Amino acid sequence: MQELDDVQINFDSNSLWILNIALAVVMFGVALGISINDFKAILKHPKLVLVGVLSQFVLLPFLTFLVIILIQPQPSIALGMMMVAACPGGNISNFMTHLADGNTALSVSLTALGTLLAMIITPVNFQLYGQLYEPTAQILKHVELQPFELVKLILLILGIPLFFGMLVRHTNERLANKLSKLLKPLSIIVFITIVIMAFSKNMDIFNTYIHHVLSIGIAHNFLALLLGFFTAKAFRLSFENQKTLAIETGIQNSGLGLLLIFTFFNGLGGMAIMAAFWGIWHIISGLLLALYWSYKPSRIYKE
């Protein structure tokens, strides 16, 4: 299994540019549904948002680090887990929260705030835990991971589309709503296409090593969902908000993770396979959980 750490996924510069543009378009689509009022809502309900940020940006990376110490996966797989945990929430979490009868307004607020925070917290969390775990620290010694370049890339992919998406909504809300309805379902198709594109020339590698990340990826995602749910429960939030935080914590922007892996790690095998598998699996698990909650009456759980 040691060779997995040396496997490189073939992903040329043209494909990388397509991935950059695709993720920026997806983020623009998400931003079309975000307004200044969503940030104002954060001030009205600071506890909800702070608990959400705590779960996603503090507890999830820390829990991931503890799991890695416990199971000691291959260093490249461990880095993939750290990368996914350090990313902000996934772009389809708002849709899943709505489907689950969760607090959609809170989900949108967390998406907006999480996107802003990710520009700094994502590279900080990844570097912190990557250096704390000795096997991954050894890999990072041989990678030219420049923090400024990492922040700049995240700013380009998340920050600029967020600004222009919100600008379109502010100036022409009707147009923003039309574009949003088109781009939201398209985002799922785009991500799946990206994953297929990434591995179309690497199916032999994917088939050879997928079993190494299968159980780890499913368990990691399951723990993330549980973490969000029980963190909200520990702070005595309503069942509606418990569902929301479960989805926000369990649905990560693994597309951004893949982009960072291909940009700075040249498609390091274990990292790329882990991030790609998570990206597919969290759509399945998130939709199944949301559908389950959509058919389960919520009123009996409300405090």
Q: What is the pTM of this model?
A: 0.82
Asked if the structure places residue 8 within a domain, the reply is yes
In a domain, 159, yes or no: yes
Inside any domain, residue 145: yes
User: Is 301 domain-assigned?
Assistant: no
CA distance 40 to 67: 36
Does 302 map to a domain?
Answer: no
Q: Is residue 192 part of a domain?
A: yes
Structural domain harbouring 100: 2-295
In sequence order, which ranges of 100-235 are alpha helices (DSSP H)? 104-132, 134-141, 147-154, 160-171, 173-200, 203-234
Domain count, the chain: 1
**34: domain CATH number?**
1.20.1530.20
Instruction: Tell me whether residue 303 is in a domain.
Output: no
Tens digit of pLDDT at every position of the chain (303 positions): 456 666 666 666 566 677 777 777 777 877 787 777 766 766 777 888 899 999 999 999 999 999 999 999 989 899 999 999 999 887 678 778 878 888 877 887 887 788 788 888 988 999 899 999 999 998 888 766 666 777 777 777 777 888 888 889 889 888 888 888 777 677 667 666 766 766 676 777 777 777 888 999 999 999 999 999 999 999 999 999 999 999 999 998 877 888 888 888 876 778 888 888 887 888 889 989 999 998 876 544 444
H-type alpha helices, 32-146 = 36-44, 46-53, 60-71, 75-86, 93-99, 104-132, 134-141
The answer to whether residue 80 is domain-embedded is yes
